[in-house]
Chains A and B, each alone.
Chain A
Amino acid sequence: MDKIAFSLTTSKWLEAFKAHQTFAINQTMRADCPFQTTSQEILLTVYDCWFTWLLALEKKLRPEGVLSATTKQALIQNTTDVQAQCLASLAQDPLLDKKLKLLWTNAYKPAHEAYIHYVMRLEVGQDSGVVYSQLANQLMSFMQHTLFVLHEVDGLLYNPNKKTFISVDDFVCDVYNQQGKDLLGERLRLYKSTQAAPEGADWELKRYTEHHLPDGLRAQLRSHLPEVCL
């Protein structure tokens, strides 16, 4: 891909990322399910960190026509560092609710690792524009997933009267299909082990995907929550 075409592509993705950020922040301010200030701050920080990463990715890939092994290695390192950057940024604000921050960090971590794994699976020698598009596309899906996870955590800690829920989205299905990793089960175990969810809670499954739930994931979910209607 020539540089002009590459720039066109990256600009479009950066625009899309910011548009998605606006959408997500608007969702956290909805009257029917307003998020806690800490949750909103977390979301802002996450979007900022990943936007910086996306800009760095553009810089890294622009001079190269195809993805080299060195660039890929650097990319994996950068992606791994994003989590530490997010946490460092959040640690600077002492007013944030520690309980929420801790639960969210633990719930977010497996998804972040799944994204790193996605970067690791990139094929060396691919066109840099295609690599950028693949990563940005998956990142958008990951950001959407982050919003849903934050909604769960916020609801569990601050809306105890509402029905407890767990969300299934495109990212969860993709990660299960590509890596065999059950993000839903990991979150459920976390919520139950930390007593974030009341014991004997009546769980609801929120579906944010039009895709067919993978059979394995469906079976896992049924073993965790037999009462949930799939």
Chain B
Amino acid sequence: MFEEMLKALLGFIFKPNAAGEVEMQIDVLLSCITLVAFVALYRFKLVPLFKALDEALPAWQQRATKLDDTFVTISHIHAIVNDVKMQVEKLDVGREDSEELMRELQAQLTLAEQSVQSISKSLHSTTQRSILDWLERSEDRMADPLKELSVIQSEIRNLSTLLMATSVSRFNKPLS
């Protein structure tokens, strides 16, 4: 088939004229060369290129999808960063408030310490006075301190046992 085509082409290019000489048809030759060049270009360059494109297309599609996802992620990250930024700004404001509160608390603590000191001073002197009074009053009764102590212990014991007996309602737990 190729030979026939070659013969036909040569037949188009070289034609005998009326004098019996063979003439080369330049225009036909150029057309043939162009055609062959086109065929060769198509066969050896374009066909492999198309094949390579077909093979590369799914990978490109995948990459394009990943790229879309990346854009979405980036926009999320952007939103989060904005949020964090706002919170940090708020935190700064809160820290300033806390510092002020701490200063107020410290001031109040100093005041409270002063109050406690003055109260304990007055209480101490009152308690001291009461103890001295009590000691003076009980001087006679404390002639035998050990006996007195044992009486007090016994009284406390009696009271505690009686208290135990009077608080037995704790055992009256209704059934559930």
Contacts and interface: CB of A to CB of B under 8 A. Distances in A.
Contacts of A143: 171
A147 interface: yes
A206 B176 contact: yes
B107 interface: no
Contacts of B162: 8-9, 12
Interface residues of B, number: 16
A97 B89 CA distance: 78
Nearest to B166: A12
Contact of B175 (A12, A129, A147): A147
A2 B176 CA distance: 42
Contact of B165 (A133, A147, A148): A133
Given A20-B171, A33-B175, A208-B173, A130 B157 contact: yes
A19 B169 CA distance: 9
Contacts of B154: 1-2, 5
Contacts of B160: 133
B118 interface: no
Interface in A1-34: 1-2, 5, 8-9, 12-13, 15-16, 19-20, 23, 27, 30, 33
A12 B158 CA distance: 12
A141 B175 contact: no
A1 B171 contact: no
Interface of B is mostly: helix
A26 to B, nearest CB: 9
Interface in A123-139: 127, 129-130, 132-133, 136-137
Contact of A129 (B158, B171, B176): B158
A27 B174 contact: yes
Contacts of B174: 27
B127 interface: no
Interface string A30-59: 100100000000000000000000000000
Interface in B142-162: 154, 157-158, 160-162
A140 interface: yes
Contacts of B166: 12, 16
A151 B171 contact: no
Contacts of B110: none
Contacts of B176: 206, 208
A144 B171 contact: yes
Given A27-B174, A151-B175, A169-B173, A129 B161 contact: yes
23 contacts: A5-B154, A5-B158, A8-B158, A9-B158, A9-B165, A12-B166, A15-B165, A16-B165, A20-B172, A30-B175, A130-B157, A132-B161, A133-B164, A136-B165, A137-B164, A137-B168, A140-B168, A141-B171, A143-B171, A147-B175, A148-B175, A208-B173, A208-B176
Given A1-B157, A5-B158, 14 more contacts: A8-B162, A9-B161, A9-B165, A12-B166, A16-B165, A16-B166, A20-B171, A27-B174, A27-B175, A129-B158, A132-B161, A133-B164, A140-B171, A151-B175
